[in-house]
Structure 1
Amino acid sequence: MSANSSQPVGLEGVKNIIAVASGKGGVGKSTTTVNLALAMAKLGHKVGILDADIYGPSQGLLLGFDAQTRPQVRDEKYFVPPVAHGIKVMSMAFLTTSETPMAWRGPMATGALMQILTQTDWQELDYLFVDMPPGTGDIQLTMSQKVPVTGAVIVTTPQDIALLDARRGIEMFRKVNIPVLGVVENMSTHICSNCGHAEAIFGEEGGKQLAEEYSVSELGKLPLSLSIRKLADSGAPTVLSEPDSDEAAIYLSIAEKVGATLASRSEQFTMPEIGMSDD
């Protein structure tokens, strides 16, 4: 997808909208989203994040924003997204307080999401990563049907129950004709901080099998790492704080694969030649 004047004004300059999704919660989707976005920015791209988890927004915390952060408003109509580490971010967390429960029915949550997406002045972005809520409910379907999503990245753990739910997510994107760009297997192995022993406590090769089942790429495998969790919770994720670590290299590799996949898809579409004759 490229910038399109038929899109809502706030999205006109956004080249690629990437949904980062999972079938269930607790698989590290938000942490993957923020590190993938930071990796893309490190590769020289203009990047934004939309925190679409209306009920449990976390990108504000992950990027170290103060709890009192609020977006500026332009022309009394458009939100100007706050920026951290070069990443433009918009989240429901910027419009509420941590003590405010989102006790909304589906249509209210969906309406709020569409408002912050289309009324945010993203300006020029190469990639807008959408941190999707878990599941396949109203918000996911509305995003898939009303927003020109370029592709989806599925985050799962090797655990059977996570893979079962991830399949549902892939099937949903297929039904609404959104390409699945690949699978990220998170919490792949636990590495003991004392002896370095690696153990696949949630199972082995689940992400690879899922990718093969749907003929999509296995984009990368992340370990169950205390460092990844601590750095994310502190507002300075791995790609930012430990750029030379093995984990940061994996996130950069995933970002490169996503970019390459999108480039190859664009190259596959070529305008047909039109022959002219005097007949």
Structure 2
Amino acid sequence: MPIENAPEHCPGPETEEAGKAAVCAGCPNQSICATAPKGPDPAPLIYGHPADKRANHSLLLRMNTQVGVMDDIDVCGPSIPKIMGLEGEQIHQSLSGWSPVYVSDNLGVMSIGFMLPDSDDAVIWRGPKKNGLIKQFVKDVDWGDLDHLLIDTPPGTSDEHLSIIQYLKETGISGAVIVTTPQEVALQDVRKEIDFCRKVKVPIIGVVENMAGFVCPKCGGKSVIFAATTGGARKMAEDLGIPFLGSIPLDPRIGKSCDMGISFLDEYPESKAYLSIIKGIKMQLNLKDEQ
């Protein structure tokens, strides 16, 4: 049930010009905008304990609890359907709201990727449209009785991040897991993310260093691809006083697992990188370490 396209220079549904401006002519939402109450749209009150983080399929299936994954804050780059092996699935609506697409009995997923006619279609929306979809997917989805809601966020500190924090401000957000690569040019952006979290009072669960060296799947040899010229994520975490959860190597098997939509740890259970990170996250959240 995709949201209808807004005009290119949409005045916004909360303005007095909504539905009346010349650019509104022909918009399928014109009559709704013209008659709807004006003023800022109140944020829905959502209660629970979500954790805001990027997570691999392997991690989620080992949490042994009821988990929801919301890919939709990353409106322009929805990748979760492919990673989870859910391409081609569609959202269904019931009397209680939109139903997530389930990977397993304990893992439900919601993504704008399920709403696109073609997976290669670009989502070209301005801020208000993105925020409207984020609000719908927080408020109108029948998640059921969740233990954890994980939210995949795009890089940066933009409207999407502010919106999700506003909509979930009553929940007591568990925290953010921040993912970076080792090189300084990436760490510069990540420091801004950390500063953002601190300013909006979102706890930081920890930092994960991705692509930390290339591991040859045949010989097991390791090569440095992205040089940690300033000490990498571990040094940054130490300097900023936040937990370092671990490193994930640049392993071609991880990319292959994501492309195929299968759990990496199911295919390669001998890998210790993810297991260590899972243990670290559970420790930070005071969860039982049940493998």
TM-score class, shorter: 0.7 to 0.9
2-side partners of 1:260 and 1:99: how far apart? 39
Amino acid at match of 1:150: S
Structure 2 partner of 1:63:
84
2-side partners of 1:94 and 1:193: how far apart? 33
Could you tell me the percent identity over the aligned residues? 35
Q: CA deviation at 1:201?
A: 1.8
* 1:91 has 2:111 as partner: yes
Structure 1 partner of 2:30:
none
SS in 1 for 2:250: coil
Structure 2 partner of 1:17:
50
Q: CA deviation at 1:189?
A: 1.2
1-side partners of 2:140 and 2:126: how far apart? 21
Amino acid at match of 1:245: E
1-side partners of 2:266 and 2:91: how far apart? 23
TM-score (norm 1): 0.79
Alignment CA distance shift 1:60-1:79 (3 Å) = same
1-side partners of 2:156 and 2:61: how far apart? 25
Amino acid at match of 1:19: D
1-side partners of 2:97 and 2:44: how far apart? 11
2-side partners of 1:155 and 1:228: how far apart? 16
2-side partners of 1:92 and 1:227: how far apart? 27
Cα deviations across residues 116-139 of structure 1 (Å, max 9, x unaligned)?
122111111111111111111110
Aligned pairs for 1:27-38 (under 5 A) are 29=54, 32-38=55-61
2-side partners of 1:241 and 1:197: how far apart? 20
Structure 2 partner of 1:230:
256
CA RMSD of aligned residues (A): 2.0
The answer for unaligned runs of 5 or more in structure 1 is: 1-6, 21-28, 265-279
Structure 2 partner of 1:252:
275
Bigger RCO (CA 8 Å, 6+ sep): 1
Structure 2 partner of 1:47:
67
Structure 2 partner of 1:196:
220
Amino acid at match of 2:207: V
The answer for unaligned runs of 5 or more in structure 2 is: 1-42
Cα deviations across residues 12-57 of structure 1 (Å, max 9, x unaligned)?
4x4x31112xxxxxxxx5xx443332232xxx21111100210010
2-side partners of 1:138 and 1:210: how far apart? 26
Asked whether the 8 Å contact 1:157–1:185 carries over to 2, the reply is: yes
**How many residues are aligned here?**
237
2-side partners of 1:130 and 1:223: how far apart? 23
Instruction: Please point out which of 204, 209, 216 is paired with 1:185.
Output: 209
Structure 1 partner of 2:147:
126
TM-score (norm 2): 0.76
Asked whether the 8 Å contact 1:37–1:48 carries over to 2, the reply is: no
2-side partners of 1:49 and 1:230: how far apart? 21
Amino acid at match of 2:224: A
Instruction: Please point out which of 140, 158, 164 is paired with 2:188.
Output: 164
Structure 2 partner of 1:208:
234
* 1:72 has 2:98 as partner: no
Q: CA deviation at 1:100?
A: 3.0
Asked whether the 8 Å contact 2:216–2:251 carries over to 1, the reply is: no
Q: Quick check: which has more Rg, 1 or 2?
A: 2
Cα deviations across residues 153-174 of structure 1 (Å, max 9, x unaligned)?
0000101111111111111111
Asked whether the 8 Å contact 2:44–2:167 carries over to 1, the reply is: no
Instruction: Please point out which of 119, 127, 132 is paired with 1:106.
Output: 127
Q: CA deviation at 1:183?
A: 0.2
Amino acid at match of 1:160: E
